[in-house]
Amino acid sequence: MDLRKRHQLHQAVDRGIRWLIAGLVLLFILYPFIMVFKEALMSTNHFMTVSEMGEFVLANQSLIKNSLLVATTTSILATTLSVGISLYYFLAPNWLQRGLSLLFMITMISPPFVSSLAYIHLFGRRGFISHQLLHLTWNPYGAHGIIMMQTLGYLSLNTLLLIGFLKAMDKSVVETAQSLGADTNHILLDIILPLMHRGIVIVASLTFIRSLADFGTPSIIGGSFKVLATEGYLNVIARGNIQEAARINLLIFIPAMLVFILYTHYLKDLTNRDHGNPAGKFSLRRQGWLFQLVRVISILLIGALILQYLSIIMNGFTVRYQGKSSLSLANIYESRPYISSTFIRSIVYALIAGVVGSFLSFTLVYYSQVRQIKWMKWIDFIAMMPYIMPGTFFGLGYIFAFSKSPLKLVGTSLIVVLNVTFKQLAFATKMASGSLSQINPELYQSTHDLGGSYLNELKDVVFPLSKEGLYVAFINGFTSTMTTIGSIIFLIYPSQKVATLVLFDLVQSGKYRLASVIACYIMLICLTANGLYYLVLKWMKKVRGNVSIR
């Protein structure tokens, strides 16, 4: 083909891709988002007045109070404790760091309700610790249960994030303090904690948003203690009042959005200031009251995390007969009817979401960040929105947006796949942004200089040089799809169930042992995917090493 014609064709395709991505993001993120607002604020034939809004808020005052109480307490607790563990991790010897990293990775990629399931198993009315060991009669259900389990549930991700911040810290700052005579206590208090404060705010914000949107934990162990998220969920499932559900989700969205603004501010600030030398390993002495304190906290919490997962595994492999527990494979046999095609479907959905989501986000970020196309920055921003939307908010949006023709998708598998794919764009675009900022801009110029087009930039520079980022985005998309529930719970018809929904049904109907088996299966699949990712990464590094030697 003539060079000029080829160039024109490439330009047209390039424009087409841009418009296609923008159209998809607008249709599958912004449109459902607007529809929730519309449905929530539309009262029969007019928009809600301010006084109607006031009345609605007043009517749900106690729910708002409960939600804010749980979210605030959980964020404070989960953040404080994860700061403690991350500091302990940083002072720990190498072998312990490796073990802890593995533990946090495993506990981070777990399905929902695992905390609640373990809590019921250990501390429930017939719980292993509360009933069998301590012979206690207490009510495990209520705000305390939710806070405890959410705190434990968010611990791993928070700690991993904070470890990331610590690792990015300028090593020479800490070593300078050492050389000026500061001991471990002073270094932690005067240097590391103040420098971590941005990371701490980010982690606290994320925890707040996640806690506010979590309906699974309160619906299982909340008992009579109701929060906005559970009410939003019950309004759809039990009462069929989706307008009320939309309004409640809006109530969750507002504080989440405010906290998100704080989050983005600190995140931006953090990237601006991040110009230190990477930390590597500190050689701080493991001594001082602060180190002892974080050590005790960490050992207790790490113990709780291990106990939590062991209890799930044990629960899956034991049966109780005449008051006694014994090892058995009975639960695995019994779980077979619940699995059937569910797991294949879940894996297929997760694979599609992982692959499409990662490529879509990298292409989108290429246009907004590398090509600096102004309006694509808005599309990029819209793609970030699912980050702050509670899962049920996003799911409701899909019901409102895609229940009428010509866009009638409700009841199809496609709507579920689209939902999980576009929901994870928020994380994947962040990943893409970090990954693409590592690419030397001159490579793009060289592509054009040698006769390439914009399409070649994508094909020959962006994708080949972002392999690692693409893998991470894929694995995250896969894992989050395998473990997600909030956004798809309203979209899935009984005949198209995915694994997390089966798990949720089993927990709700009190079949905890079978639920544990399903939870184990989900964990196993996610761990296998993550394991494969590490093997691929290792292999890639080896190949790259060989290339550089040559």
Enumerate binding residues for other proteins (CB under 8 A): 170, 172-183, 186, 190-191, 194-195, 273, 276-277, 283, 285
Q: How far is the CB of 172 from other proteins (least distance, A)?
A: 4
Helices (H) and strands (E) counted in the chain, each on its own, are 26, 4
Residue (194 or 545) nearer to other proteins, CB: 194
- CA end-to-end span of the chain, whole Å? 36
Cross-strand bridge partners of residue 320: 325
H helix or E strand, kind and range, residue 462: none
**Gap between the Cα atoms of 535 and 470, Å rounded:** 15
> Sign of dihedral through CA atoms 310, 489, 54, 33?
positive
Q: How far is the CB of 115 from other proteins (least distance, A)?
A: 35
Residue (41 or 270) nearer to other proteins, CB: 270
Report which of 525, 360, 514, 481 is spatially closest to residue 431, judged by C-alpha positions: 360
Q: How far is the CB of 70 from other proteins (least distance, A)?
A: 32
Residue (69 or 270) nearer to other proteins, CB: 270
Residue (136 or 189) nearer to other proteins, CB: 189
**Gap between the Cα atoms of 430 and 436, Å rounded:** 10
Residue (55 or 269) nearer to other proteins, CB: 269
Residue (121 or 198) nearer to other proteins, CB: 198
Q: How far is the CB of 184 from other proteins (least distance, A)?
A: 9
Q: How far is the CB of 529 from other proteins (least distance, A)?
A: 33
Contact, 86 vs 162, CB < 8 A? yes
Residue (196 or 462) nearer to other proteins, CB: 196
Tokens of 365: 């970020």
Amino acid identity, position 499 = A
Q: How far is the CB of 277 from other proteins (least distance, A)?
A: 5
Q: How far is the CB of 81 from other proteins (least distance, A)?
A: 23
> Sign of dihedral through CA atoms 30, 228, 212, 415?
negative
Residue (119 or 266) nearer to other proteins, CB: 266
Write the CB contacts of 315 (distance below 8 Å, at least 6 apart in sequence).
Answer: 117, 118, 121, 512, 513, 516
Write the CB contacts of 477 (distance below 8 Å, at least 6 apart in sequence).
Answer: 350, 353, 354, 355, 357, 358, 420, 421, 424, 427, 428
**Gap between the Cα atoms of 405 and 46, Å rounded:** 24
Residue (92 or 173) nearer to other proteins, CB: 173
Q: How far is the CB of 281 from other proteins (least distance, A)?
A: 10
**Gap between the Cα atoms of 428 and 475, Å rounded:** 10
Q: How far is the CB of 161 from other proteins (least distance, A)?
A: 20
